[in-house]
Amino acid sequence: MNMDRVFSLLLRNLIWILLAAVIVFFSLTTSSFLTVPNFINILFNASVLGILVIGQTFTLLTGNFDLSLESTLGLCGLLGIWLITAAGTPYYGSGLMLSVWLAVPLLLAVGALIGLINGWLITAMKMNNFVVTLAMLIIVRGVTLVLNNGQTAYSISETYNWIGLGKIGSLPVPVVLMALFFLGAHVVIAYTPFGRELYAVGANRNAALASGVRPDRRILQVYVISGLLAAFAGWMLSARLTNAMSSMGEGMIFEVFAAAVIGGVSLKGGQGTVLGALGGVLLLATINAGLNLMNVSVYWIQTIRGAIILVAMLIDAQKIRYVAPAVHAAPSESQTSVP
């Protein structure tokens, strides 16, 4: 009885065990891994992904995808720099030279607007969330290309760049902000009626509807949150790089999904926690850092990272099998299998 409890506790915190195992492994294999600067570096590199994963977690909890996140990040990051810099060589901005204090609210508003359009098409026009955000991924990337004719824009504004390069004490600003965002999201999702309603919508839409929750309204809201967070992440990334290419963020959506799902957020909705998602983000970032320190060839890193994601998910799939054999047995092949 007690053993079972321990086992179930371990399974529920699988992501943290995996993370600990990875940290132990890298600490033993490379001498420079277990240092404070390296850990700060890992967190620094995790920050943009982390904020995107928070947004994705909100939508996933309601049983919806937001594929467009990576493009929203790209557009809003470029927009921020574009609005505040001079036209032509060497900075390639719009020449509008807006104040940072105006540009940032604008880029955030654009992110929220993209989320609003996503949410509106999905709830009011009854479109499939996968298809809507897939089209939006393509459209928003197209807008990004058109905006600056494919040209990279450069930011020399220290105010704008502070969010990516500044420090609070000895901690980089992105690390502090990521921590605050995760804390905020955790509180909202775990302790507010709003958070509970997201689980209800994702787990059983009709039951949620029957119990007085308005699913469509909640779905619209999570898309706005997700767009807003993606815009913020775009500001942070472009500030950190001090430039924005029109391809910024491209392909990142795959990593966002991987982190959320490894962290235990279900693609079917209604399951998972923000802290678990944080674990997923940290795991991916730790692996990247460790492989770099081990001097693994850059050509191999991607393969190894993919393999680790696969193994983590494999373990996770076996967990579901073990924890809920009754649920799983329903349409399983094993009973009727014809080899």
Partner 1 sequence: MKIDRSRAIQFLLDNLVWILLLLTLLAFSLLTPRFLTVGNLTNILVHSTVLGIMVIGQSFTLLTGNFDLSAESTLGLAAIIGAFLLVPAGEPNFGAGLQLSPLLVVPIMFAVGLAVGWINGLFITRLKMNNFIVTLAMLIILRGLTMVITEGRTITGLPETFKALGAASMGVVPISIVVVGLAFLAASLVTRSTRFGRDLYAVGGNRNAALASGINPDRRIRHVYLISGLLAAFAGWIMLGRLGVGATRMGEGMIFEIQAAAVIGGISLFGGRGTMVGALGGVLLLSTIDSGLNLLRVSGFAINMIRGLIILFAMLIDAQKARYRAPVANSTYVTPAVRQTS
Interface residues with partner 1 (CB under 8 A) are: 63-65, 121-123, 125-132, 134-143, 145-146, 149-150, 205-206, 215-216, 219, 246, 250-251, 254, 257-258, 261, 267-269, 297, 299-307, 309-310, 313-314, 317-318, 320-321, 328, 330-333, 336-338
Q: What CA–CA distances, in Å, run from 245 to 185, 239, 278?
A: 29, 12, 27
Q: How far is the CB of 253 from partner 1 (least distance, A)?
A: 10
Nearer to partner 1, 53 or 122 (CB): 122
The tally of CA atoms less than 13 A away on the side-chain side of residue 180 is 8
Nearer to partner 1, 68 or 161 (CB): 68
The rounded distance, in Å, linking the Cα atoms of 175 and 166 is: 10
Sign of CA dihedral 250, 253, 258, 264: positive
Query: What are the CB-based long-range contacts (under 8 Å, 24+) for 306-314?
Result: 309/258, 309/262, 309/284, 312/18, 312/262, 312/283, 313/261, 313/262
Nearer to partner 1, 162 or 254 (CB): 254
Q: How far is the CB of 204 from partner 1 (least distance, A)?
A: 10
Tell me how far apart the terminal alpha carbons of the chain are, to the nearest angstrom: 37
Strands (E), the chain: 153-154, 167-168, 171-172, 243-244
Nearer to partner 1, 50 or 269 (CB): 269
Nearer to partner 1, 159 or 271 (CB): 271
The rounded distance, in Å, linking the Cα atoms of 69 and 53 is: 9
Q: How far is the CB of 163 from partner 1 (least distance, A)?
A: 27
Nearer to partner 1, 190 or 310 (CB): 310
The rounded distance, in Å, linking the Cα atoms of 58 and 306 is: 24
The rounded distance, in Å, linking the Cα atoms of 145 and 8 is: 49
